[in-house]
Chain A
Amino acid sequence: MTTLVLAEHDNANFNAATLHAITAAKAMGSDIHILVAGAGCKPVADQAAKVAGVSKVLLADDAVFEHRLAENVAPLIAKLAANYSHVLAVATTTGKNVMPRAAALLDMQQISEIVAVESADTFLRPTYAGNAMTLVQSGDKVKMITVRATGFEPAAAEGGSAAVETVAGVSDSGLSKFVGRDVHKSERPELTSARIVVSGGRGMQSGDNFKLLEAVADKLGAAVGASRAAVDAGFVPNDYQVGQTGKIVAPELYIAVGISGAIQHLAGMKDSKVIVAINKDEDAPIFQVADYGLVADLFQAMPEFAAALQKQAAA
């Protein structure tokens, strides 16, 4: 029994989100191989080979994989899957895009966003925005799985010394072409791996007002997130969205500012260790899940918050 884990990367760096999927793979009790499909991505394979518990890295270094287009990567996974009992990917937009296509090519029913492994064929996954935890058993020959990162601790990035083996590519499907990417560069930590997240909602009233959150976030070394309402209103870009169909986060501390707490938002953050809510509406549902609630006007509270943190840092 061997599990293949699809590495998330940008051809240069092995994305640490994959480490969560490797922990899930360990729970299957099988050997673990990592697939690095990209172009000029040897450095990624070398990093993957150092991950503790990995016995082999498959390197598919080919121009057709440069941008991980599903039409090219899915056939590669489908081709390799015959040798594996499980194929796992972390549930990023890349994993979510590629894995179901590969599963369909193999005639396997994928299991999405597992948060726990009960046994090699039985998995727990949230459904209905996390309001129903569903335990499913798969009889498929190859278990095709995406892993919700917040359900598993990251595996140690160092300590392993796996062999890197080159695997052949596939011919270009000719169906899709990569054009470009608008990446919002930020000095702040990445939302899904940040220790602290400060998120704003409709109550922020404008994108400009997110400066009030950023001031606090920067003093706490936090990432900045948002509710769907704030993204839909155009206050912040789509990659800020925390929720059922956006990003799922579970930081040590989640500070929700001007967020009412719709079920769909709670689905993306309710596994955070400590939740703080700042909202002027004392009946806002967010207070029902908050460890610490402050009923206040955020336009007064946030500058005060930033000033107090500033003062402490200076002291």
Chain B
Amino acid sequence: MKVLVAVKRVIDANVKVRVKADGTGVETQNVKMAMNPFCEIAIEEAVRLKEAGTATEIVAVACGTTQSQETIRTALAMGADRGILVEHDGVLEPLAVAKLLKAVVDREQPRLVIAGKQAIDDDSNQTGQMLAGLLGWAQGTFASKIAFDGEWLHVTREVNEGLEKIDIKLPAVITTDLRLNEPRYASLPNIMKAKKKPIETLKPADLGVDVTPRLKVLKVNEPPKRQAGVKVGSIAELIDKLKNEAKVI
């Protein structure tokens, strides 16, 4: 089975993000970038499916600037077989990415698409669901466990109340939650090997997709800052403050 995995290049999760002084966005110059953590989980799951003999080929797809090639290389070093970059310099909203991915799915005909449930930059949590909707496929979102059963996939989902189990029909879209797996680090030999794996570059126009943004960003601001309060010396003092000063207990 061919598996397609969507990956996104984002500001590294450990970087403290700074809002630009002119309020147009966040500082990305000279900032460490990395693969979105949920996408790492998506790649890892695909690689495990290949190691188990379920997946035959893994195609990693990124939509974004030329630099997204680095993210695809990371995916290749983790075990993906080849990459596709849909290159675009401007803003790509989730609906546009879902349309691009749909066009790639139409060309590649995978049985399974795995995506991260959320990108930690935009925090939208939309693309996988949108892709499934556009394809008319089943969706298994926020997955913490998947198991194949013929034409069906058993999916355990992390939901507000706990865990939900559903069966979805293949082909399908999975979005990953944190407990699905623990992604591996790419080994040096695999990083070297990844340099030889092919990456195809396409433009949105090649796929016939209009990616014009629907939303206008009017302003990006820093959130109100919380001030550090006081240190208390004991539990007794803490209880006294909560009771008589903050009046919350």
Q: Of B126, B142, B230, B234, which one neighbours A293 at CB under 8 angstroms?
A: B230
Q: Is the CB of A113 within 8 A of B178?
A: no
Question: Smallest distance from the beta carbon of B125 to chain A beta carbons, Å?
Answer: 5
B138: CB under 8 A from chain A? yes
Contact of A137 with B246 at beta-carbon distance under 8 Å, contacts A93-B160, A97-B129, A308-B235 already known: no
Question: Smallest distance from the beta carbon of A274 to chain B beta carbons, Å?
Answer: 5
Residues from chain B with a CB closer than 8 A to the CB of A92 are 160
A136: CB under 8 A from chain B? yes
B196: CB under 8 A from chain A? no
Contact of A136 with B95 at beta-carbon distance under 8 Å, contacts A101-B130, A128-B26, A293-B230 already known: no
Q: Of A112, A138, A231, which one neighbours B125 at CB under 8 angstroms?
A: A112
Residues from chain B with a CB closer than 8 A to the CB of A301 are 235
B229: CB under 8 A from chain A? yes
Interface-forming stretch among A20-28, A54-62, A244-252? A244-252
Interface-forming stretch among A32-40, A45-53, A69-77, A205-213? A69-77
Q: Is the CB of A179 within 8 A of B165?
A: yes
Interface-forming stretch among A103-111, A153-161, A163-171? A103-111
Q: Is the CB of B159 within 8 A of A93?
A: yes
Residues from chain A with a CB closer than 8 A to the CB of B123 are 112-113, 125-129, 244
Chain A positions 240-278 with a Cβ under 8 Å from a chain B Cβ = 244-245, 247, 252-253, 263-264, 270, 273-276
A1: CB under 8 A from chain B? no
Residues from chain A with a CB closer than 8 A to the CB of B118 are 245
Contact of A132 with B229 at beta-carbon distance under 8 Å, contacts A100-B126, A138-B214 already known: no
Q: Is the CB of A133 within 8 A of B218?
A: no
Residues from chain A with a CB closer than 8 A to the CB of B213 are 109
Interface size for A (C-beta < 8 A) is 91
Q: Is the CB of A231 within 8 A of B179?
A: yes
* A137 to B177 Cα, complex, angstroms: 30
Q: Is the CB of B17 within 8 A of A182?
A: no
Question: Smallest distance from the beta carbon of A221 to chain B beta carbons, Å?
Answer: 9
Per-residue contact bits, chain B 210-232, to A (CB 8 Å; 1 contact, 0 not):
00011111111111001011111
Q: Of B218, B231, B246, which one neighbours A253 at CB under 8 angstroms?
A: B246
* A301 to B130 Cα, complex, angstroms: 48
Interface residues of B: mostly helix, strand, loop or mixed?
mixed
B169: CB under 8 A from chain A? yes
Q: Is the CB of A100 within 8 A of B130?
A: yes
Contact of A94 with B160 at beta-carbon distance under 8 Å, contacts A108-B214, A109-B95, A138-B214 already known: yes
* A108 to B126 Cα, complex, angstroms: 12
Per-residue contact bits, chain B 101-126, to A (CB 8 Å; 1 contact, 0 not):
00000000000000001101111111
Per-residue contact bits, chain A 268-310, to B (CB 8 Å; 1 contact, 0 not):
0010011110000000000111111111100001001100110
Q: Is the CB of A70 within 8 A of B220?
A: no
Q: Of A70, A232, A292, which one neighbours B179 at CB under 8 angstroms?
A: A232
Q: By CB atoms of chain A within 10 A, which of B94, B127, B235 has the most?
A: B235
Residue of A nearest to B134 (CB): A104
Contact of A110 with B94 at beta-carbon distance under 8 Å, contacts A128-B121, A238-B179, A295-B231 already known: yes
Residues from chain B with a CB closer than 8 A to the CB of A309 are 239
**B contact set with A: CB distance below 8 Å:** 11, 13, 16-17, 19, 25-26, 38, 93-95, 98, 117-118, 120-134, 137-139, 141-142, 144, 154, 157-169, 172, 177-179, 213-223, 226, 228-236, 238-239, 241-242, 246, 248-249
Q: Ordered nearest first, which 4 A-B pairs have the shortest CB separation?
A: A291-B229, A104-B130, A100-B129, A109-B214
Q: A139-B215, A308-B239 are in contact. List 15 more A-B contacts (CB 8 A).
A: A105-B134, A112-B124, A128-B11, A174-B169, A181-B162, A238-B162, A247-B160, A253-B242, A270-B226, A275-B226, A287-B231, A294-B233, A294-B234, A301-B235, A305-B235
24 A-B interface contacts by CB (under 8 A)? A74-B133, A92-B160, A93-B159, A97-B129, A100-B126, A101-B129, A101-B132, A111-B215, A127-B220, A131-B223, A132-B17, A133-B221, A135-B217, A135-B218, A173-B138, A178-B166, A181-B163, A182-B163, A231-B178, A231-B179, A239-B158, A244-B123, A290-B228, A294-B233
